[in-house]
Chain A
């Protein structure tokens, strides 16, 4: 007994490394993400992501389909932000075809994608909060998200995989009450965002679970190819809407919120502020909504000239890009999707090492992944 106590601590306590398998059916992984954790006690010392459970081979399918047939697949990549996916693809093809989209269509596209951004951020906030233990927020978030989904449903016919855009514009013009309904929603949402913040901003548990968790310095975030709120949380001012405006974004006045510390709390604040900025954009777009057609003249059989294009937009999760190579036929020779969630997920390893197991859940939440887009 005496002998044992005088032994150095390491040999007294058996400090074994443990492997822990998290997912693919874990609720906090937001889908089918499997994370293999190597633990020392409760501290993560290494991890490996196992993805691909939802791989459908969209890039291969696209090579067999005509340009118009591919669009619905983009709804199903990031299925909580279907409209943003559509926008990226149709604008890429429009650039290839050199089609000028009518102004009214561009404004409506901006309105719909910004509504989608709010819906996506609301879903993110609800699930992120429930992962950390703040269960109430989810119900409130879904209440407001429901309003957006109803607006979508009445316009597009679908709630989730809202296939709103066609190559060249929109398939239909919006219904007469569309504007009033969006304005009604804009009236309530800023107060509701404040309401969520009341629940969380100074909540002690929320703060201790987010402040200082998953810190990423700016240089590292850039080097890791991160985009979207995860990059801006580290204070890098890169928003595709501002840096290289597409659609009608050059017409609108809005701010790009930036973080300072690059931790989970900053990324939370940024997404909250982004929702407010989206409200501003939608208001301006509704005020200046031009009259006119919503569909450009597009040939029935879409055959872009030989060439290639990379087009990217600021999706709720980051820079969503499409790289299209056309060989002059009716089907793309190659379509590459630049998925923000897939590339941002790489940073999980960098952010989680040194933190506790419970923080891995918070960090997965803060990256804001959708496995439909990660696995494609």
Chain B
């Protein structure tokens, strides 16, 4: 990940030029977006290529890239949510026109219940639930991300809640039974515990698998000989675990 930006340095100016052209050639980016975004773009420094995400959006726009995240100001439902939950809603933005509401953990379940039952919202289908690991963010290393959809209003909304490593997240299984396996997968891949989930087991990986693969610190090149010895009685190669962090090419 670290040397992403160093690859093909000759191509870089071309890429930038192209994106510049693209921006000019796209008059259909809404006027409101542009006007609203402008002051931000002036004050905010260009983002370093691999900036540690701060967790407080709107994030600084990427270098010369179009501004994609704007504050939502004129949406009746979002206003209603802001009114009802007050400080618990820490952010309500639209990225590429998709609405995102970030809520504090304590109000997460209440907000979801409100969104499911309130007649202006009626988000009856929970399309997806997943998590993101941000190791650089202190005390809020994980984001649980919920994609909601309303079959009656035909609209989508994304809910985010930040968690510290080891924090339990309230389970949504009581509201949407479809979140059962999604939460189990998030537990399997990130180790996030869901409070109130009746059957929180690993789902894709074996019960006694060590670690949670989608955490950023989990190595890509990794072979667990102990596990294979125990379950498969088969060892493909003898593997020195001290080499876990060494890149494949170097190890060769």
Contacts and interface: CB of A to CB of B under 8 A. Distances in A.
Interface of A: 51-52, 55, 57, 59-61, 63-64, 95-96, 98-100, 222-227, 236-238, 243-244, 297-301, 303-310, 312, 319, 321, 323, 325, 327-331, 333-334, 336, 338, 342-343, 345-346, 375-376
A330 B158 CA distance: 25
A327 B5 CA distance: 12
A328 B49 contact: yes
Given A306-B60, A307-B95, A225 B4 contact: no
Nearest to A54: B204
Contact of A60 (B21, B47, B220): B220
The 7 A-B pairs with the shortest beta carbon distances in the complex, nearest first, are: A225-B178, A305-B65, A52-B204, A305-B62, A299-B15, A307-B68, A329-B4
Given A52-B203, A98-B22, A327-B50, 16 more contacts: A59-B214, A64-B220, A100-B26, A222-B151, A226-B178, A297-B22, A304-B62, A305-B66, A307-B96, A308-B95, A309-B98, A327-B51, A329-B4, A342-B181, A345-B181, A346-B180
B18 interface: yes
Interface string B44-81: 00010111010000011111011011000000000000
Interface string B168-199: 00000000111111100000010000000000
Contacts of A334: 132-133
B66 A223 contact: no
A27 B121 CA distance: 44
A230 B49 CA distance: 44
A95 B96 contact: yes
A339 B26 CA distance: 33
B89 interface: no
A348 to B, nearest CB: 11
B15 A323 contact: no
B164 interface: no
A357 B22 CA distance: 58
Contacts, number: 153
A222 B179 CA distance: 11
Contact of A321 (B21, B29, B61, B147): B147
B232 to A, nearest CB: 13
A301 B154 contact: no
B226 interface: no
B50 A329 contact: yes
Interface residues on B, range: 35 or more
Contacts of A95: 96
A310 B98 contact: yes
Interface in B203-221: 203-206, 213-214, 218, 220
B49 A329 contact: yes
A300 B11 contact: yes
A98 B189 CA distance: 30
B228 interface: no
Contacts of A310: 98, 128, 147, 156, 158
B7 interface: yes
B163 interface: no
A262 to B, nearest CB: 15
Contacts of B126: 225
B181 A346 contact: yes
B213 A57 contact: yes
B151 A236 contact: yes
A227 B218 CA distance: 33
Contact of A305 (B18, B21, B68): B68
Interface centre among A60, A304, A305 (most CB of B within 10 A): A305
Nearest to B29: A98
Interface centre among A64, A310, A345 (most CB of B within 10 A): A310
Nearest to A59: B214
Contacts of A342: 181
A100 B50 CA distance: 27
B244 interface: no
Contacts of A343: 178, 181-182
Contacts of A236: 151
A224 B178 contact: yes
Interface centre among B7, B96, B205 (most CB of A within 10 A): B96
B1 A336 contact: no
B178 A375 contact: no
Interface in B83-115: 95-96, 98
B34 interface: no
A60 B219 CA distance: 10
Nearest to A347: B178
Nearest to B100: A308
B138 interface: no
A237 B150 CA distance: 12
Given A328-B51, A329-B5, A336-B128, A300 B14 contact: yes
A323 B95 CA distance: 12
A343 B176 CA distance: 12
B171 to A, nearest CB: 14
A236 B145 CA distance: 25
A168 to B, nearest CB: 11
Nearest to A53: B204
16 contacts: A59-B189, A64-B220, A95-B96, A96-B96, A100-B26, A300-B11, A301-B7, A303-B62, A305-B65, A306-B61, A309-B96, A330-B4, A336-B130, A345-B181, A346-B178, A376-B204
Contact of B151 (A59, A238, A304): A238
B12 to A, nearest CB: 7
